[in-house]
């Protein structure tokens, strides 16, 4: 998820000159920049091209591993902020020793994903090779599950193969689900345990298939305080979908229609038109947002709607400038999302930036620190602004630019925050760049900037803390109850 900050991207114009000793230390640490090109910037040698059957030799896998370590060390602004350098490099050496003579892309992922997850940066991660793991004919665990983001407990998402919806699964093939979750979490990047559990919900089917695939699954589950057991055969996705429809028909239920992808942003009126709910699902479409906001605010102002609820519980981030467009219309005071930002530009960073954006965001090599002292001013046109009471709903999933939005919302007293602590922190990494491992072509994403949200105390790192702490699924109803009591 990209966090294209509202801070000026033309960093060289506002470059803070750092002490010479810092530059010297930096030069020593990035010894590879002595030359413009490295083996990992150059085309892959013919001898290392991937074989037609898709399997890699150990030599090829180590080449990709070293390319990954080199690239993240050249791009990331502070890769050892959480993980000790000795621990990280010891793990690299151990991986080289543990790798078999031949391996698949999926096996390589099992080595490199936990390595990047050690960095504790939710933006920096390796993407699972889904098409290699979740093929049409492969047999899967025949139940789909939810992972609780507070305690890691696993429950079924719907009734299927005799297991009722909401049953708590405690064991699969003799392995406790607590151990399964703990093992799968090593592949998930993130700053906080609860955020990684949230991400595991989306990754669970893929990672379980990668680590625990079997022909049959002996499942123990808890239902109505009674422990039950069943054994199910592995099934294809088509078989699972067909069984789900049969179960729904037998229960007299109408089969669920395929859910449409949520819109980037939309709104509706609640409580007989007394409350507006804006679902702000991702920070995208900066060109479309002004027209949307003008339309929404015109209507709710005309109808004298006294409360606006902004919901970022499902917002994983995007472009922080979109958040500024909202603040221009709801804030009573000047505002700013970020206090400062830091990045270092190496030849490798330049190459990845150019691949992604052309010359738009290129800067000379060096260290860049920008302090943002100025504040953004709300719109002067009061007809385009909302003057009622504003509420913000957050969750552990609220991340990146959405977390920055929630931080500024609370810091500048724009309203009350209801829900859970955000998954994004007040000191964080972001503005990710895409990188593909040269041989396996596994997708990787890595931060190339560090951000300090406005007014942050960097000795106390945490997400946005809600004014009213409730579970995310109760945040909306809790807010509506608070509004009703204020009548």
User: Residues 291-336: pLDDT tens digits?
Assistant: 999 999 999 999 999 999 999 999 999 999 999 999 999 999 999 9
pLDDT in tens, 229-280: 999 999 999 999 898 888 877 777 665 555 667 889 999 999 999 999 999 9
CA dihedral angle for residue 278, residue 280, residue 281, residue 283, rounded to 10 degrees = 160
H-type helices in 170-236, by residue range? Answer: 177-184, 193-212
Q: Is 85 left (phi over 0), alpha (psi -120 to 50) or beta?
A: alpha
CA dist., res. 454 & res. 474, Å (int): 29
Domains, the chain, with CATH or none: 145-235 (2.30.42), 265-430+438-485 (3.90.226.10)
Residue 307 CB coordination number (10 Å): 21
Taken in order 388, 319, 449, 368, is the CA torsion positive or negative? negative
Indicate yes or no: pTM above 0.75: yes
Share of the chain above pLDDT 90, in %: 79
More confident residue, 10 or 40: 40
What lies within 8 Å, CB to CB, of 38 at 6+ separation is: 32, 70, 348
pLDDT band at 182 (very low <50, low <70, confident <90, very high): very high
Question: What is the DSSP code string of 41-106?
Answer: TSPPPGGGSPPTTS-EEHHHHHHHHHHHHHHHHHH-S-TTSSS-HHHHHHHHHHHHHH--SEE-HH
């Amino acid at each position: 998820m990209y966090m294209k900050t509202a801070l000026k991207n033309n960093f060289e114009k506002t470059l803070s000159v750092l002490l010479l000793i810092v530059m010297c230390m930096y030069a020593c640490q990035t010894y590879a920049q002595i030359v413009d090109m490295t083996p990992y910037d150059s085309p892959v040698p013919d001898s290392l091209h991937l074989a037609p059957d898709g399997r890699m030799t150990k030599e090829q896998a180590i080449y990709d591993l070293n390319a990954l370590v080199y690239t993240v060390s050249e791009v990331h602004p502070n890769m050892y902020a959480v993980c000790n350098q000795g621990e990280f490099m010891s793990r690299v050496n151990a991986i080289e020793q543990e790798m078999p003579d031949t391996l698949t892309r999926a096996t390589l992922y099992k080595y490199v994903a936990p390595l990047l997850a050690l960095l504790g940066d939710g933006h920096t991660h390796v993407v699972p090779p889904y098409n290699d793991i979740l093929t049409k004919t492969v047999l899967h665990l025949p139940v789909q599950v939810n992972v609780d983001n507070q305690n890691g407990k696993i429950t079924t998402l719907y009734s299927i193969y005799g297991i009722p919806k909401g049953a708590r699964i405690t064991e699969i093939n003799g392995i406790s689900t607590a151990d399964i979750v703990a093992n799968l979490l090593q592949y998930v990047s993130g700053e906080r345990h609860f955020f990684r559990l949230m991400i595991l919900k989306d990754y669970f089917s893929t990672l379980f298939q990668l680590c625990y695939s079997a022909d049959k699954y002996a499942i123990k589950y808890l239902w109505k305080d009674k422990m039950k057991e069943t054994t199910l055969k592995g099934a294809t996705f088509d078989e699972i979908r067909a069984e789900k429809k049969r179960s729904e028909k037998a229960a007299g239920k109408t089969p669920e229609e395929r859910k449409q992808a949520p819109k980037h942003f939309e709104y509706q009126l609640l409580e007989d038109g007394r409350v507006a709910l804006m679902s702000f699902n991702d920070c995208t479409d900066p060109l479309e947002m002004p027209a949307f906001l003008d339309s929404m605010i015109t209507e709710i102002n005309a109808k004298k709607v006294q409360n606006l609820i902004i919901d970022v519980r499902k917002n994983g981030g995007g472009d922080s400038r979109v958040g500024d467009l909202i603040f221009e219309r709801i804030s009573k005071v000047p505002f700013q999302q970020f206090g400062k930002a830091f990045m270092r530009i190496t030849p490798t960073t330049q190459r990845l930036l150019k691949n992604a954006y052309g010359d738009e965001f290129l800067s000379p090599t060096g260290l860049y620190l920008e302090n943002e002292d100025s504040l953004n001013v709300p719109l002067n046109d009061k007809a385009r602004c909302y003057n009622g009471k504003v509420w913000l709903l957050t969750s552990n999933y609220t991340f990146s630019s959405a977390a920055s939005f929630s931080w500024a919302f609370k810091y500048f007293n724009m309203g009350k925050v209801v829900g859970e602590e955000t998954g994004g922190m007040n000191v964080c990494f972001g503005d990710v760049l895409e990188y593909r491992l040269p041989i396996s072509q596994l997708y990787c994403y890595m931060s190339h900037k560090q951000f300090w949200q406005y007014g942050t105390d960097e000795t106390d790192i945490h997400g946005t803390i809600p004014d009213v702490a409730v579970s995310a699924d109760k945040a909306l109803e809790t807010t509506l109850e608070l509004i009703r009591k204020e009548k």
